[in-house]
Amino acid sequence: MAHKKTINKGGSNYSTADYNLVSNGGTGTPLNPERAANLQHPSLYINRELSLLEFNRRVLFMAQDKQVPLLQRLRYLCICSDNLDEFFEIRVAGLRKQRDSYGRGTGPDQLGPAEQLQQIDAVAHQLVQQQYTVLNEELFPALVAQQIVFPPVAEWSKKVRTWASRFFDAELFPVLSPMGLDPLHPFPQLTNKSLNFIVSLRGTDAFGREASRAVVRAPRSLPRIIPVPMEFSNGQSQFVLLSTMIERNIGRLFPGLETRGVYQFRVTRNSDLYLADDDVADLRLALRDELNARDYGSAVRLEVGEDCPDAVIQFLLNQFGLDSQDLYVCNGPVNLGRLAKLPDMLDRSELKYDSFTPVTSVAAQSGGKLFSALKKRDLLLHYPYQSSQTVIAFLQAAACDHKVLAIKQTLYRTGQESLYVDALIEAARNGKDVTVVIELRARFDEDANMKIASRLQRAGVQVVFGVVGFKSHAKILLIVRREKGRMVRYVHIGTGNYHEGNSERYTDLNLLTRNKRITGDIQKIFNQLSGLGKVANVKSILHSPFNMHRKVIKLIQKQTERAKQGKPALIRARMNSLNEPQIIEQLYRASNAGVKVRLLVRGICALRPAVAGVSENIQVISVIGRFLEHSRVYAFGAEGEEEVYISSADWMPRNMFHRVEVAVPVLDAGLRATVLEESIDCYFRDNCFAWQLLADGSYKRVRAAQENGAMAQGVSAQSTLQAHYVSAG
């Protein structure tokens, strides 16, 4: 079987100059305007998984974009690779499970799991091929031009060869464990995404056994990139990959045997956790058992180096129970994501984004000042342009304030070393009544969250593990304070997690308020999460899984009716993903009625804009930039009449029906204007990093237009906001 001749067929149809993938979004059904009367027709919906792959194409394009600093381009390549890893671990694994149980298509596009896997196969192989083309033909040459080099073994100097040999003996040889393969030593159980080598051998070992193959696992305890000492590097910044170091010296592990070939490989496994919450007595114990097994789930993808022979490839496919379509041949290191460490190893500021320090508000200098400030008006914070230190300082002040009686907070992802957790522990030790709702099932953060929960419980914090069957995804903090003999509530609501690191990399909105209606609603939600009460009768906020979906549809329908009456009607919204079919159908109806719809959707978008008779009035853009776009904003109404909400929820079925989410109104007119300008309107002026979704499911880069024969000035929303906050701060 000539695997490599069949796997990497088909070239990319985009270049560094532009990117416009022409497809019909993977529905397999040609668009037909005559079907506009049936707004639920599958041809009007883009497949979720294929849309997610297209997001990764846009990320990969950033690795080619010469507007982006070189080392950051490398990071984007690694982000794309890591995203694909998770795509296979979760999305492809789930589809395979559905296919094997004879499942049918459940999405609005009606593609079945087998059809989706077939189309994913074609797109993902092309995407992987493009990754290595970008690495080898663009990034590596650009790095060499900057004296940053991964020299091929054939070009190693005598001094480098001597150093590498000694390094192997001192650092690698003691931790490597070769595993010969024979009837008494079957193929080992290899962990998910670990780097491995299969070695072809010839000869007889010390015990008289014929040797043919062995497996060597690369130690996870060692860095994947090794700097060559400066005295051997001819003035360059030279590096050697751990995989190269092992390949070069692997024969030392098999004395007396002939090493005929050494080939990298990596297997990706199903990493989703399948727990029936209502069938387990203790979710923590059940999760711990599942986590122990996560690294050994069923195989879904095999990656091999391009020099791997067909016979060895077939042997590996058989070992993992995979077929040829599950094979990805890599023209370079099979673990691309590990190259993300390189920028941190180099002191080359000119090849990175300019340093940026978030603005810290005056109130953050003394968190206690916020109690007084919030008596006058609500406070809006925009991460990462403004610092999360404001909220941290507020929580720290509350922990020590003798007037504060209780603190309640949700934690979804926060990181093991967290100032938020430290403040909650301090509050408990100071006698406050502290309740924390921790979501144990936050994917890939389960272990960290269990450790945080134990730490909080040891400090006397009341820890609640959410609701059976529903992830607690809302980002809310409630502080109860006695002021002049009465109880006053203060609330923080965010669109992102309580995570200091993410607040410097993700764009998120945060509202601090003491508005009685909002704080009263948040109090009810906390009581519902920790207790066993019925649906909270909230007055001002949208609340999943109870009323958010219904109210979002009503808000869309309100604009539809206004348009039918000839009144100004406008819907503006931004989110990470949009694929809830009933909401999309209502947006189609709004468009047909004449409502202008402007959507900023970073990733998955199942809605088709600009379809004749369906969505001519809908415009969708996606922005990929320095910061990860993460805010969720919903705005309904023409200018001056908007109802504006910030939220933790995307417009997806899981957020509407299977998670605890909130969307809170922005009541202050000035703050509403700020939210709309900074989170939506300025992005629709972006002509540097914005992509427009077309009716056929493709994306087209938004370019600066020509004016009088010259290019108009480029506008980057993120750069504009950075400059604004730096000057204002």
**Catalytic residue annotation:** 473
Rg (CA), the chain: 28
Distance separating alpha carbons of residues 519 and 534, to the nearest angstrom = 19
Instruction: Using alpha carbons, select from 311, 308, 309, 331 the residue that is nearest to residue 319.
Output: 311
Cα-based distances in Å from 716 to 47, 683, 684, 688: 29, 8, 10, 5
CB burial readout 343-367, b (16+ within 10 A) else e: beebeeeebbeeeeebbebebbeeb
Residue 571: CB atoms within 10 Å = 25
DSSP label of 190: P
Q: How far apart are CA 420 and CA 436, in angstroms?
A: 11
Which residue in 454, 466, 448 sits closest to 291, CA to CA? 448
Q: How many CA atoms lie within 13 A of 534 on its CB side?
A: 1
Nearest to 491 by CA among 500, 507, 480, 501: 480
Dihedral, CA of residue 450, residue 498, residue 91 and residue 3, to nearest 10: -90
Cis before 358? omega within 30: no
Euclidean distance between the first and the last CA atom of the chain, given in angstroms as a whole number: 64
CA angle centred on 574, ends 573 and 575, rounded to 5°: 130
How many angstroms separate the CA atoms of 367 and 392, rounded?
8
Contact between 261 and 282 (Cβ < 8 Å)? no
Q: How many CA atoms lie within 13 A of 307 on its CB side?
A: 12
Burial class (CB in 10 A: 0-12, 13-18, 19+), 643: middle
Angle CA(640)–CA(645)–CA(651) in degrees, nearest 5? 125
Tell which phi-psi region holds residue 688, choosing left (phi > 0), alpha (psi between -120 and 50) or beta.
Answer: alpha
Helices (H) and strands (E) in the chain, counts: 20, 29
Q: Kindly state the tokens that stand for 49.
A: 């998984």
Say how far apart CA 588 and CA 577 lie, in whole Å. Answer: 17
